[in-house]
Amino acid sequence: MAKKKTKVTRVTKKHSTKDRQVLIAIIALVVVAILGVGYAAITSNLVIGGSGTEATATPDSTAFNINYTANTVASISTGGTGTVTDTTTSYPTKTASFTATGMSKMNETATVTYTITNASADLGASLATPSCTQTDTGGYFQIASTLGTSTLTKAGGATPSTSQTVTVTLIKLPVDSNVSTTITCTLVATATN
């Protein structure tokens, strides 16, 4: 038996220009849709608070409440002749005061220690080193002021109170008449979160 050869004919269809344009348009639409979804996914994380949104905070002067709350010590050094008296009219207060009188011995000291309390419910406080000035220009008195700690927690926290000690030392004896000085110690408290 003889084999018969068959001829395979390929049928090719020529795509028309119109078919190509439709295919390109479909591909373009798919690409634009994919890019649009991708862009939306990226930009949805970039919008914070919407357009034109702003937040403001108004200071509340009552929210930060640092005061002298007590006088814990008022004393004259051992062997001293003077007296020291707390003259603060009431506690709590922003201004504490005392008088030291009758000091007559070299290096005699008058010491007053006050308790400082942070009564602020939401704010802590950072206390600067107290700075003291005096009106004595004759060099009779030396003034020192120290803090127990410079950081206060908010009320109810671990350390809402500290102490401030003011020491006045007679370093030069007056010869002809009594001398006096007015002392001002400034303690600056800064609110902290």
User: What are the 10-residue block averages of pLDDT along the chain, 193 residues in total?
Assistant: 59 63 71 55 45 62 84 84 86 88 90 92 91 88 93 94 92 89 89 87
User: Which pLDDT value is given to residue 59?
Assistant: 66
Q: Which residue has the tokens 């034109």?
A: 52
If you ran DSSP here, which 8-state letter would residue 14 be given?
P
Q: How far apart are the C-alpha atoms of 2 and 40, rounded to whole Å? A: 70
pLDDT of residue 171: 93
What's the pLDDT score for residue 176? 84
68 and 128 Cβ atoms separated by less than 8 Å: no
Burial class (CB in 10 A: 0-12, 13-18, 19+), 32: exposed
Domains in the chain, please, with CATH?
66-192 (2.60.40)
pLDDT value at residue 26:
74
- At residue 37, the pLDDT reads 53
Return the pLDDT at 125.
Answer: 92
**Cα 104 from Cα 83, distance rounded (Å):** 11
Output the pLDDT for position 146: 92
Per-residue confidence (pLDDT) for residue 90, from 0 to 100: 87
CA atoms 91, 96, 102, 103: torsion sign: positive
